Amino acid sequence: MERVSENASFGGTHGVYTHASHACASNMKFSVYQPSGAKKGKVPVVFLLAGLECNEQTFAMKAGAHRIASELGLILVMPDTSPRETPYPGDDASWDFGTAASFYVDATRDPWSASYRMHTYVTRELPALVREHFPANKDMMGIMGHSMGGHGALVAALKNPGLYESVSAFAPICAPTQCPWGQKAFAGYFGEDPDAWKEWDATELVARVQLGFPLRIDQGTTDKFLERELKPELFRAACAASGQALELHMREGYDHSYYFIGTFLEEHLRYHAARLG
């Protein structure tokens, strides 16, 4: 692992790092915010998964998370949104598939399966690397995300019960098998069989896997992607049917932007801090 940069922020440090990833078969970048309290011992860690077209710096630069993370004593880990070193035909042809659009899944279709294994990267490889190099408490781990990253956070938790103690999302893609973004990405990463897609759909997963704590979702009511792509009502119905506790906050007048995220991020981080002790 190599440090690319480091900056002081709210009494802590924000660093950008690169390392050779086995899961993604390439070098990957990620950023980490360490609060001042991390100098005294191991502290809880929250993984922040960004959305389409973003990278490892987007959450750090746009969300304004450092101040509250410093106060609460949380390490924040922000991975990149896809492998970038191995080019594939068409990976830059559109903004919602390929580069910066991994959907945090483990692809099974060639050629994507060789390096688009972001689920394994986010849930296994990167946490192990963080525990090795940073004062992160392995028993106090949460995950959150925005849009595509919100989908990634929900799926990461539901496919790995017990791995996280807290999970939240801003405007997540709740039912990717039933929306154009998800259908396009899943056909590319998994092939044309819709049954194979269901293993990466939070609305499908929550019907058979429940977590022992409430999930939190915030969604803006004027989000232009709400009806076509995000579909929180489907996830809410699936949670109600299965008994999974869900806190769904519909925020009147807010959209899909980081202005929305910045407004409610403190509530999310306090939710994680309370769950992580």
Report the pLDDT averaged over residues 92-120. 97
Query: pLDDT over 90 for what percent of the chain?
Result: 96
Catalytic one among 31, 147, 166, 168? 147
Q: Kindly report which listed range (47-61, 80-94, 115-129, 159-173) carries the lowest average pLDDT score.
A: 80-94
219-245 pLDDT tens trace = 999 999 999 999 999 999 999 999 999
Catalytic one among 146, 256, 268, 272? 256
1-51 pLDDT tens trace = 999 999 999 999 999 999 999 999 999 999 999 999 888 889 999 999 999
pLDDT at 38: 84
Catalytic one among 91, 106, 218, 223? 223
Domains in the chain with CATH codes: 2-276 (3.40.50.1820)
CB 173 within 8 A of CB 229: yes
Assess whether 168 carries a catalytic annotation. Answer: no
pLDDT at 222: 98
86: pLDDT strictly greater than 90: no
pLDDT at 146: 98
115-147 pLDDT tens trace = 999 999 999 999 999 999 999 998 999 999 999
Assess whether 223 carries a catalytic annotation. Answer: yes
**Mean residue pLDDT across the chain:** 97
Assess whether 19 carries a catalytic annotation. Answer: no
